[in-house]
């Protein structure tokens, strides 16, 4: 049974069988057609950075050991990795910038569909940015401009890096990796990797850390803060996850991508009584919005909108034959969707001025006309409902309950207003430590296998798990985000969860919300008067695939958190780069990367790490 090696999620294996029966190609088929994948690429030793190339290094040592310009495998691998970080950091920076622009336009009255939903957070952020004009007219607009200035900052450092514990900032300072402007670091990545510029692997990777810090403590943190201000800070709520959330008798609209700027408006338009009336007039019982990927996480966290699946399920959602519209913005959207949607009645609707796709119906979004465009999109979906071919509808039954919405504020509230009870539980050992398990799916790994097994092992061993991104969706589908999942946890963690009524795995949001995890880590470190690298915490990305994940991994390690990757990054062609990432970084930033595809072994690495940090703290 081939599908068993492709996914551990029964809804996914069912839909994959259906895809094959119908002769439709999915990501797994294309992955198989790529086998064997290029060994030079896997090892990171091909370079196309100038037109004397492309060059590649012979990993066995009999062929060329340098590119035409003289670049060694170490230089080529380091440069390629830096370009991955640049691309990932750019994705988060552009996302954050767009959120700030909407915030600014909302304040100026141009983006009328958007409001301020969290005034308290707005004031706190203004204080952090030293907006002294606060209270007078224009105070909030000054904050918007101050946020924007972090992107092009020419003096000082990215503002929110101040949230990092002092010891951490000193480490960055001494290594020369405190990030200056967000855009500046990304531009400098491209400059340094141009032919004939930065040619020392360590020096190249240092800049990678700096760029990634500007992502984690800059772009991603700004995106989270501004989205909370505009759409509300998440609080605990219940919902459901997996393809079974699609409805047989309703108009199904999927929001897929990353920016809540769009999905929030779609959610609002879909609940408009006039739209619901229209849906009834075409024979549907209502309008059902469901998410995929991180924009799904955004509306799940804030509104309890159900989530239809994670990254590898996007094509399968179309193959249910029950989706009237798949509405996308940016990031992690497969260009195969247009062709697939054409095999069904599904409208594949692209909305971002930045992202066009073959076979997409273009309904370009603008902040000024946000509500109007969202209504047009919803209307298009509703009017498409009568075209659904009932004979081809196959919605798998699987849907799991979940509890979501654990922002930092929500966690503090659950703890009674202070992190002290959590710290006490860590000190007395009922909770051994905290692991952030995050990241994508990747067809190199059986879908969800890495995620679910790693998380299960960790909670069984009394490690509290915090999650975001596609890992969070995997956990939701596996039932691990239910308070009842405390039964699967070790006795200590179980006791804490049961007394608080929370799950042993806390959904903290989308991938940009990993910034929330940094804030929690900083708060605990500050409370204990230590550095983040002293804490019994770890990170993991069991099925990562995107360049954003590379930037995230880099800033998590640069923040002092040991991180285990489940898929191998393209660095093994350089013994020097591999040694820096897995060893030397420990001396520099107090944390390293490890690579372990087996989730059971990865859990052991994490637990050993947590135990050693506990011992060092005398716990
Ligand atoms: O930003 S986890 S597959 S959806 S990149 Fe993409 Fe990866 Fe999912 Fe979230 Ni994050
Ligand atoms: Fe080859 Fe050097 Fe040009 Fe890269 S930069 S393609 S290694 S010559």
Top mutation candidate among 96, 331, 517, 544 for ligand 1, by most atoms within 8 Å of CB: 331
Q: Which atom of ligand 1 is nearest to the CA of 545?
A: 7
Q: Determine phi and psi for 22, rounding to 5 degrees.
A: -85, 0
Residue 195 CA to residue 50 CA, distance in Å, equals 6
Q: Kindly report the CA angle at 437 between 435 and 443, in degrees rounded to 5?
A: 155
Ligand closest to CA 57: 2
Spatial contact of 97 and 148, defined as CB atoms under 8 Å apart: yes
pLDDT of 140 reads 84
pLDDT digits (tens, 9 = 90+) for 550-579: 999 999 999 999 999 999 999 999 999 999
Q: Kindly report the CA angle at 304 between 117 and 537, in degrees rounded to 5?
A: 85
Residue 570 CA to residue 41 CA, distance in Å, equals 7
Closest residue to atom 2 of ligand 2, CA basis: 69
Which secondary-structure segment (H or E) carries 609?
helix 599-616
User: Cβ < 6 Å from ligand 2: which residues?
Assistant: 47-50, 52-55, 67-69, 71, 76, 195
Q: How sure is the predictor about 5, in pLDDT bands with cuts at 50, 70 and 90?
A: confident
Asked if pLDDT for residue 416 goes beyond 80, the answer is yes
Mean pLDDT of 153-159: 95
Beta bridge pairs of residue 464 = 434
Q: Which two tokens stand for residue 475?
A: 């956990």
The counts of H helices and E strands in the chain are 27, 16
Question: Which of 599, 545, 606, 572 minimizes the C-alpha distance to 31?
Answer: 545
What is the residue-wise DSSP string for 493-555? HHHHHHHHT--SEEEEESGGGHHHHHHHHHHHHHHHTS-GGGSSEEEEETT--SHHHHHHHHH
Q: Which two tokens stand for residue 255?
A: 């929001």
Spatial contact of 108 and 71, defined as CB atoms under 8 Å apart: no
Alpha-helix residue ranges (DSSP H) falling in 559-591: 575-579, 585-589
Closest residue to atom 3 of ligand 2, CA basis: 50
Residue 151 CA to residue 142 CA, distance in Å, equals 15
Mean pLDDT of 20-47: 98
Residue 349 CA to residue 33 CA, distance in Å, equals 28
Domains and CATH numbers, the chain: 3-56 (no CATH), 73-231 (1.20.1270.30), 243-392 (3.40.50.2030), 402-616 (3.40.50.2030)
326 CA → ligand 2 middle, Å: 41
> Does residue 311 have a cis peptide bond before it, meaning omega lies within 30 degrees of 0?
no
pLDDT of 134 reads 66
Q: Kindly report the CA angle at 165 between 148 and 135, in degrees rounded to 5?
A: 45
CA neighbours closer than 13 Å in the CB half-sphere of residue 351: 30
Q: What is the CA radius of gyration of the chain?
A: 24
66 CA → ligand 2 middle, Å: 9
Cβ burial of 330 (10 Å; 0-12, 13-18, 19+) is: buried
Q: Which atom of ligand 1 is nearest to the CA of 546?
A: 5
pLDDT of 137 reads 60
Share of the chain above pLDDT 90, in %: 96
What is the residue-wise DSSP string for 403-426? EE---HHHHHHHTTSSSHHHHHHH
Question: Which of 267, 302, 315 minimizes the C-alpha distance to 287?
Answer: 267
512 CA → ligand 1 middle, Å: 9
Spatial contact of 246 and 288, defined as CB atoms under 8 Å apart: yes
Q: Which two tokens stand for residue 496?
A: 């804490």
475 CA → ligand 1 middle, Å: 14
Q: Which two tokens stand for residue 54?
A: 């492309």
**CA-based end-to-end distance of the chain:** 47
Q: How many CB atoms lie within 10 A of CB 6?
A: 23
437 CA → ligand 1 middle, Å: 13
Q: Which two tokens stand for residue 437?
A: 């398990």
199 CA → ligand 2 middle, Å: 11
Residue 538 CA to residue 550 CA, distance in Å, equals 16
Question: Which of 376, 365, 372, 370 minimizes the C-alpha distance to 110?
Answer: 370
Top mutation candidate among 241, 291, 294 for ligand 1, by most atoms within 8 Å of CB: 294
pLDDT of 136 reads 57
Mean pLDDT of 422-432: 97
Spatial contact of 194 and 554, defined as CB atoms under 8 Å apart: no
Q: Determine phi and psi for 581, rounding to 5 degrees.
A: -70, -35
pLDDT digits (tens, 9 = 90+) for 327-369: 999 999 999 999 999 999 999 999 999 999 999 999 999 999 9
562 CA → ligand 2 middle, Å: 33
Alpha-helix residue ranges (DSSP H) falling in 282-419: 293-303, 314-319, 337-341, 370-384, 408-414
Spatial contact of 107 and 138, defined as CB atoms under 8 Å apart: no
Closest residue to atom 3 of ligand 1, CA basis: 440
Give every CB contact of residue 391 below 8 A, 6+ residues apart in sequence.
none
pLDDT of 290 reads 98
Ligand closest to CA 70: 2
User: Cβ < 6 Å from ligand 1: which residues?
Assistant: 258, 293-294, 311, 332, 439-440, 469-470, 510-511, 546, 548-549
Top mutation candidate among 54, 63, 77 for ligand 2, by most atoms within 8 Å of CB: 54
Top mutation candidate among 71, 191, 201 for ligand 2, by most atoms within 8 Å of CB: 71
Ligand closest to CA 473: 1
190 CA → ligand 2 middle, Å: 14
How far is residue 367 CA from its own chain's centroid?
24
Q: Which atom of ligand 1 is nearest to the CA of 468?
A: 2
Q: How sure is the predictor about 3, in pLDDT bands with cuts at 50, 70 and 90?
A: confident
Ligand closest to CA 443: 1
The two most distant CA atoms of the chain are separated, in Å, by 72
Residue whose pair of structure tokens reads 């009834």 in the numeric block: 280
Spatial contact of 357 and 348, defined as CB atoms under 8 Å apart: yes
In 562-573, which positions are buried (b, 16+ CB within 10 angstroms) versus exposed (e)? bbbbbbebbbbb
Q: Which atom of ligand 1 is nearest to the CA of 549?
A: 5
DSSP code of residue 7: B
Top mutation candidate among 55, 66, 80, 191 for ligand 2, by most atoms within 8 Å of CB: 55
439 CA → ligand 1 middle, Å: 6
Q: Which two tokens stand for residue 152?
A: 């092009």
pLDDT digits (tens, 9 = 90+) for 269-307: 999 999 999 999 999 999 999 999 999 999 999 999 999
Asked if pLDDT for residue 1 goes beyond 70, the answer is no
Spatial contact of 319 and 15, defined as CB atoms under 8 Å apart: yes
ipTM of the complex: 0.96
> Long-range pairs for 48-52 at CB < 8 Å and ≥24 separation?
49/79, 49/193, 49/194, 49/195, 50/194, 50/195, 52/195
123 CA → ligand 1 middle, Å: 30
Residue 468 CA to residue 481 CA, distance in Å, equals 12
Residue whose pair of structure tokens reads 């029950």 in the numeric block: 322
How high is the mean pLDDT of the chain?
97
Spatial contact of 293 and 256, defined as CB atoms under 8 Å apart: yes
Q: Determine phi and psi for 422, rounding to 5 degrees.
A: -70, -45
Residue 165 CA to residue 156 CA, distance in Å, equals 17
Asked if pLDDT for residue 504 goes beyond 60, the answer is yes
Listed range (206-210, 414-418, 428-432, 509-513) with the worst mean pLDDT: 414-418
Question: Which of 473, 337, 443 minimizes the C-alpha distance to 2?
Answer: 443
Top mutation candidate among 317, 469, 471, 539 for ligand 1, by most atoms within 8 Å of CB: 469
For residues 141 and 437, the model is more confident at: 437
């Amino acid at each position: 049974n081939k599908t068993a090696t492709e996914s551990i999620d029964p809804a996914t294996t069912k839909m994959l069988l259906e895809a094959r029966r119908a002769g439709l190609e999915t990501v797994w088929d294309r992955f198989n057609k790529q086998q064997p994948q290029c060994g030079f690429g896997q090892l990171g030793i091909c370079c196309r950075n100038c037109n004397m190339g492309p060059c590649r290094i012979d990993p066995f040592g009999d062929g060329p050991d340098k590119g035409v310009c003289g670049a060694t495998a170490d230089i080529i691998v380091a440069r390629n990795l830096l370009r991955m970080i640049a691309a990932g950091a750019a994705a988060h920076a552009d996302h954050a910038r767009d959120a700030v622009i909407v915030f600014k336009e909302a304040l100026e009255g141009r983006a009328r569909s958007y409001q301020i939903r969290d005034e308290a957070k707005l004031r706190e952020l203004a204080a952090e940015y030293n907006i002294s004009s606060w209270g007078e007219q224009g105070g909030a607009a000054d904050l918007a401009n101050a946020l924007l200035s972090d992107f092009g900052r020419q003096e000082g450092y990215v503002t929110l890096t101040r949230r990092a514990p002092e010891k951490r900032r000193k480490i960055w300072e001494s290594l020369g990796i405190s990030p200056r402007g967000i855009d500046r670091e990304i531009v400098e990545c491209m400059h340094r990797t141009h032919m004939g510029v930065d040619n020392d692997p360590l020096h190249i990777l240092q800049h990678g850390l700096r760029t990634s810090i500007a992502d984690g403590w800059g772009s991603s943190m700004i995106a989270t803060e501004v989205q909370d201000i505009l759409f509300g800070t998440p609080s605990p709520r219940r919902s459901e996850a997996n393809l079974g959330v699609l409805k047989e008798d309703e108009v199904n609209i999927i929001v897929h991508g990353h920016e809540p700027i769009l999905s929030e408006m779609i959610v609002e338009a879909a609940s408009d009584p006039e739209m619901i009336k229209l849906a009834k007039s075409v024979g549907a019982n209502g309008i059902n919005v469901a998410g995929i990927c991180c924009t799904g996480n955004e509306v799940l966290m804030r509104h309890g909108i159900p989530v239809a699946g994670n990254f590898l399920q996007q094509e399968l959602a179309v193959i249910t034959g029950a989706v009237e519209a798949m509405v996308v913005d940016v990031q992690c959207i497969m260009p195969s969707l247009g062709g697939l949607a054409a095999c069904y009645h599904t409208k594949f609707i692209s909305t971002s001025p930045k992202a066009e796709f073959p076979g997409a119906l273009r309904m370009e979004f603008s902040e000024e006309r946000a509500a109007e465009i969202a209504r047009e999109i919803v209307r298009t979906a509703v009017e498409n409902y009568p075209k659904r071919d009932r004979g081809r509808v196959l919605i798998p039954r699987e849907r799991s309950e979940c509890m979501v919405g654990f922002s930092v504020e929500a966690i503090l509230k659950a703890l009674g207003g202070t992190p002290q009870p959590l710290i006490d539980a860590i000190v007395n050992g009922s909770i051994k430590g905290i692991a952030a398990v995050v990241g994508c799916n990747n067809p190199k790994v059986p879908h969800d296998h890495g995620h679910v097994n790693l998380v299960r092992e960790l909670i069984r061993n009394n490690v509290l798990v915090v999650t975001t991104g596609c890992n969070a969706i995997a956990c939701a589908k596996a039932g691990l985000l239910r308070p009842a999942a405390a039964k699967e946890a070790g006795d200590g963690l179980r006791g804490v969860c049961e007394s608080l009524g929370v799950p042993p795995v806390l959904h903290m949001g989308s991938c940009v919300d990993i910034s929330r995890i940094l804030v929690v880590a900083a708060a605990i470190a500050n409370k204990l008067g230590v550095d983040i690298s002293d804490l019994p915490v770890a990170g993991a990305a069991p099925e990562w695939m995107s360049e954003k994940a590379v930037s995230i991994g880099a800033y998590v390690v640069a923040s002092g958190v040991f991180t285990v990757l489940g898929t191998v990054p393209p660095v093994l062609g350089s013994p020097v780069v591999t040694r820096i990432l897995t060893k030397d970084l420990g001396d520099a930033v107090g944390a390293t990367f490890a690579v372990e595809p087996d989730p059971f072994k990865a859990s052991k690495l994490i637990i050993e790490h947590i135990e050693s940090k506990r011992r060092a703290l005398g716990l």
